[in-house]
Amino acid sequence: MEKYRCIICDYIYDPKAGDPDHGVSPGTRFEDLPADWVCPECGAPQDQFEKI
């Protein structure tokens, strides 16, 4: 699974870890994130992330 970086604040979304504090289970691919999920650090929308 590929990681994605927020181009605003450099937060890294790691699918292996998910984002359990915001309801995203470990193992959730970036492409499968809920439509309303935003960067937990700066609130940027998903279109502000790039694959790394």
Establish whether 49 is an annotated binding residue.
Answer: no
Establish whether 39 is an annotated binding residue.
Answer: yes
pLDDT of residue 44: 98
* Domains present along the chain, CATH in parentheses: 2-49 (2.20.28.10)
Among 23, 19, 12, CA closest to 52: 12
pLDDT of residue 32: 98
Establish whether 42 is an annotated binding residue.
Answer: yes
Of the pLDDT bands very low, low, confident and very high (cuts 50, 70, 90), residue 1 is confident
Establish whether 9 is an annotated binding residue.
Answer: yes
pLDDT in tens, 6-49: 999 999 999 999 999 999 999 999 999 999 999 999 999 999 99
